[in-house]
Each structure stands twice: as C-alpha cells, then as structure tokens.
C-alpha cells in the first residue's frame, strides 16, 4: 500500500466522525446552532407575573395583547394572597384579557411564605385552600398555581412530607369541585429526591397520583450544564416530562439570562419532550429583551403557534 492510499484512508476515517459530530451540533439546541427557522418550541410558553399588574400598571388588556403577539400561551399571575386578601380586580381583569387573546390565566398563590411560612397549623393550611377554592369559584381563571408549598426547616421536611401531600390533595379536591376542568400546578425545587428531603416536596407522587396537572421546577441557572442535568433528571420518565414545565430564570435571584441563553434553555426543554417552559419574570427586562426574540421566533418557520382570539391552548 503506497503512502497516498494510507493518507486517503486516514482522512476517510476522520471524515466520518467529524460529520457525525457536525450532525450532533446541528441538532442539539445546547450549542446554539439550531437555525431559528427550524427551532421547535414546547406547547406551553408561560410567564410568571409577580406584581399581579402586568406590564402596564394594571392594564391587562394591553399587557395580554403584547404577550399574545409574542406567543405566550399561559400567564401565572400573582394574586398577592396575604391573610385572606387577594387582588380580586386584577384577577378579573387578567382573566378577561386572557380569554380575549387566547392566553390561559393561572391564579398564583404563595402558600406558606414570610411570617406564615410554616404549614404546620391546620388553620393556616385551611385558609390557603379556602382562598384557592374561592378564586376558582368566583373568577374565570384557567388554573390555580401553588408556590411556597414547602417546609423552611429540613427537620420538618424529613418528618412530615405527607402533610404537604395531603394539603395539595385537599386544594385539588376543592378547586376541581368549584370549577370542573380547572388546572392545578405548583412551583417546585428542581432536584428530586433531594427536594423531598430538604423541603418536603414529593412532586413525583403529586404527578403520579394525579394531584397536580403540572409541576414547574424552578431550574434557575445560568450554567447550561447544570440546566441540562436538571432537565435530564426531570425527563427520565416520559409521562412526567409531558406534565413538567421547566422554569427559566430570566431575572431570578442571582440569575440573569440574555435572549440567546433563554432560547437555548427553551429548546433544551422542548427537545426532551417536556410540556413547556415558564419564564421568570414579567418585568421590563423580559419585555425589552426576551419578547422581541419570542416574536421573531414566532414569525419564523416552525415558530410559536398562532392562536385565534378567544381560543385557548390545548391542555
């Protein structure tokens, strides 16, 4: 065999692995190399609004119009629940605007936070469940979203995770009786089963036993490798993945993501068969930097699905 033949064989041996690597990079969102026109978003593209007043100081019609244009399918609106009080007028306005623009509205309730952060007293759990039931009965929302369903003390979490499970079951029973077909979801810590040990959130069981329709793990990280580890763990079971909405921390505590990082984390979740993503938070950064990117993707081939006014995304 002459030197030229050897060289060609060596080159051929290199070309095949290189082509395979090139294919992997082209198909893997993590590298940021997926053409925007070929990008496939998840079915649910949500956003948390912690003010309860949208982008325009309570003008939910204007806010919802902008969100719908960007392809947002679900809004998780903070009801500002505290000692039995809620932002009733804002819930009503948000729900009405959502219906007009085909965006689902989930009433977000912070259950055990601040001075009332421990779920131990029965009357505290009953008060939260009653508020959820009232909202479901009196306001035309599409879902109830629970947050801070956790222990702040690890020792309590280890002793009494079943108390939180019983609470979630009770809320579900009440809200589904008040409004049949309503969705129930919860924001949860991302790592299972460590979250069961640390804060008492047995969210695998909450899904498996039908207590929740969706869980939203707060996968707040700027480290893409860490994001991949979270998502890989959460998508091991395909049935659970189909009911898991990945929380992306655009401006979460200690985390800030630019538009390209948000696009990549969104694509990573979609590639794993997850139900969707939800961005934190609906603020000026989200409006100025993330919504233009979402509008561009929505307009591109394979972009975010268009919705007709008055329609709602499928469950």
Two structure tokens written together for 292:
């233009």
pLDDT of residue 113: 84
pLDDT of residue 115: 63
Who contacts 187 (Cβ-Cβ below 8 Å, separation ≥6)?
145, 146, 147, 148, 149, 215, 216, 218, 247
- For residue 236, pLDDT beyond 70: yes
Distance set, CA 53 to CA 50, 64, 69, 183 (Å): 8, 11, 18, 22
Q: Which residue in 40, 15, 18 sits closest to 29, CA to CA?
A: 40
Evaluated on CA atoms 159, 161, 162, 167, the torsion sign reads: positive
> Where do the structural domains in the chain lie, given as residue ranges?
1-31, 41-299
- For residue 283, pLDDT beyond 80: yes
- For residue 123, pLDDT beyond 60: yes
38: confidence class by pLDDT, cuts 50, 70, 90: low
Q: State the pTM of this model.
A: 0.85
66: confidence class by pLDDT, cuts 50, 70, 90: very high
**What CATH superfamily is the domain 41-299?**
Glycosidases (3.20.20.80)
Q: Which residue has the tokens 């948390």?
A: 48
305 alpha-carbon distance from chain centroid? 17
More confident residue, 35 or 71: 71
The counts of H helices and E strands in the chain are: 13, 8
- For residue 3, pLDDT beyond 60: no
Least confident of 7-11, 20-24, 227-231: 20-24
pLDDT of residue 255: 94
Answer yes or no: are the C-beta atoms of 95 and 66 closer than 8 Å. no
- For residue 102, pLDDT beyond 90: yes
Separation between Cα atoms, residue 258 and residue 131, nearest integer Å:
36
């Amino acid at each position: 065999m002459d030197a030229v033949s050897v060289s060609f064989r060596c080159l051929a041996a290199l070309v095949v692995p290189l082509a395979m690597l090139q294919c992997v990079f082209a198909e893997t969102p993590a590298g940021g190399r997926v053409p925007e026109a070929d990008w496939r978003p998840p079915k649910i593209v949500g956003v948390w609004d912690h003010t309860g007043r949208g982008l325009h100081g309570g003008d939910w019609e204007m806010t919802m119009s902008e969100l719908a244009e960007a392809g947002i399918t679900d809004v998780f609106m903070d009801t500002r629940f505290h000692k039995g009080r809620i932002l009733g007028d804002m819930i009503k306005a948000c729900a009405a605007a959502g219906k007009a623009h085909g965006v689902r509205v989930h009433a977000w309730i912070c259950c055990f936070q601040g001075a009332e952060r421990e779920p131990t007293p029965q009357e505290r759990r009953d008060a939260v469940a009653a508020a959820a039931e009232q909202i479901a009965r009196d306001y035309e929302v599409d879902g109830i979203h629970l947050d801070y369903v956790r222990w702040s003390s690890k020792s309590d979490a280890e002793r009494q995770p079943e108390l939180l499970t019983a609470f979630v079951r009770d809320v579900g029973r009440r809200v589904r009786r008040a409004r049949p077909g309503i969705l129930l979801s919860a924001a949860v810590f991302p790592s299972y089963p460590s979250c069961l040990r640390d804060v008492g959130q047995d969210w695998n069981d909450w899904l498996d036993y039908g207590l929740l329709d969706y869980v939203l793990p707060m996968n707040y990280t700027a480290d893409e490798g860490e994001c991949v580890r979270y998502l890989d763990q959460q998508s091991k079971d395909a049935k659970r993945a189909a009911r898991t909405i990945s929380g992306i921390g655009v401006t979460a505590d200690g985390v800030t993501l630019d538009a390209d990082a948000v696009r990549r984390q969104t694509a990573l979740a979609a590639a794993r068969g997850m139900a969707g993503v939800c961005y934190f938070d609906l603020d000026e950064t989200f409006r100025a930097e993330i919504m233009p990117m979402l509008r561009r993707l929505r307009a591109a081939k394979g972009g975010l699905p268009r919705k007709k006014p008055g329609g709602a995304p499928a469950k």
